[in-house]
């Protein structure tokens, strides 16, 4: 992990920080209501990276659900000023270890086909392409690539 970062559990008081990263990261950002629901859901694991270089502000977040033996990654984002510094990699690895500790054996996610940086990261962590959802994303319209990974191999 980068020495300036630490993993934190996300709470409702952090929604504004989450939304700020969301808005600069995605062309179709999730609304406040979805994050509020995610934070309150019993299956949800919501973690962030607090970054000292941003005055202790939120640098990144991940939301995933733990259902039976699967960790479903719903969203991951890193503030643009901190991309390429290893924050996403560390946050993903930490989250997947937590999921494995809680009984998950597999992880799944969807990613835009054009998001080559995210795809490279997921592949580096052991995720494999297993399918495609046509026109899943909007603004712009794009297929989602489905990826799965075995947590025992990550």
Positions annotated as catalytic residues are 110, 122
Q: Are 98 and 71 in contact (CB under 8 A)?
A: no
Distance of alpha carbon 31 from alpha carbon 83, whole angstroms: 23
* CA angle centred on 122, ends 74 and 112, rounded to 5°: 60
Helices (H), the chain: 15-25, 32-40, 87-101, 116-124
Residue 48, both tokens: 């962030």
Q: Are 93 and 154 in contact (CB under 8 A)?
A: yes
């Amino acid at each position: 992990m980068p020495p300036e970062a630490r993993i934190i559990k996300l709470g409702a008081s952090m929604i504004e920080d989450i939304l700020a990263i969301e808005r600069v990261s995605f062309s179709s950002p999730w609304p406040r209501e979805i994050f509020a629901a995610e934070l309150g859901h019993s299956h949800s694991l919501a973690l962030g990276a607090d970054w000292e270089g941003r005055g202790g502000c939120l640098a990144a977040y991940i939301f995933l659900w733990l259902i039976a033996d699967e960790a479903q990654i719903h969203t991951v984002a890193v503030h643009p000023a901190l991309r390429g510094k290893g924050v996403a990699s560390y946050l993903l690895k930490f989250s997947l270890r937590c999921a494995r500790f809680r009984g998950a054996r597999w992880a799944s996610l969807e990613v835009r086909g054009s998001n080559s940086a995210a795809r490279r990261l997921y592949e580096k962590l052991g995720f494999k392409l297993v399918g495609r959802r046509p026109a899943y994303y909007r603004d712009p319209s794009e297929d989602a690539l489905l990826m799965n990974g075995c947590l025992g191999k990550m």
